């Protein structure tokens, strides 16, 4: 919602750049940059390109991870994961099982279990008003708790 508000505000600012019938000085002066002997670019064109580029960056957000993961603990050794892929992406559609396994391995290591078992796993597409989104859900169970006996480690 924040991104949409910022995009709307930028659109209004860009529209204010070319007001007609006003005696006040324009927001962007009617000057141009001379790039080569025969090529120049107006400042208003540069401002429009910057606003459009910023809007694309805000909507697409290339630095955001492709998948967001929600984790819930069902009991002492069982976890449910819900993964959602970002709407606009350039790849990563097959990464959901890798992300689930990576997080399961982290939990296994952090809690001292020997292994994990994938109890359930499903993938699909959730159709929404703005656009379809890849989804994945899985349940894992941590198994074989490692004993903390120092005699076994020698």
Q: ∠62-33-51 over CA atoms, to 5°?
A: 30
Task: Return the sign of the alpha-carbon dihedral for residues 84, 85, 87, 93.
Answer: negative
The domain total for the chain is 2
Show which of 44, 60, 76 is a domain's final residue: 60
DSSP state of 7: H
Q: Domain check: are 106 and 84 in the same one?
A: yes
Q: What is the pLDDT of residue 130?
A: 72
pLDDT < 70 positions in the chain: 1-26, 59-60, 62-63, 88-93, 145-154
pLDDT in tens, 104-127: 999 999 998 989 999 999 999 888
Domain interval for residue 29:
2-60
User: What is the predicted pLDDT for the residue at 123?
Assistant: 92
Q: Which of 12, 29, 60 is the last residue of a domain?
A: 60
pTM: 0.57
CATH number of the domain residue 136 falls in: 3.30.1360
């Amino acid at each position: 919602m924040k991104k949409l508000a910022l995009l709307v505000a930028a659109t209004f600012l860009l529209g204010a750049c070319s007001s007609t019938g006003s005696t006040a000085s324009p927001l962007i002066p009617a000057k141009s940059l001379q790039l080569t002997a025969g090529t120049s670019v107006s400042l208003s064109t540069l401002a429009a390109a910057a606003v459009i580029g910023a809007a694309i960056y805000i909507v697409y957000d290339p630095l955001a991870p492709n998948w967001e993961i929600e984790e819930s603990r069902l009991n002492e050794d069982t976890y449910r994961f819900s993964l959602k892929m970002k709407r606009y992406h350039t790849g990563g559609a097959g990464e959901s099982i890798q992300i689930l396994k990576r997080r399961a391995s982290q939990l296994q290591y952090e809690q001292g279990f020997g292994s994990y078992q994938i109890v359930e796993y499903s993938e699909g597409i959730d159709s929404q008003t703005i656009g379809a989104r890849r989804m994945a859900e899985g349940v894992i169970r941590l198994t074989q708790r490692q004993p903390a006996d120092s005699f076994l480690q020698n």
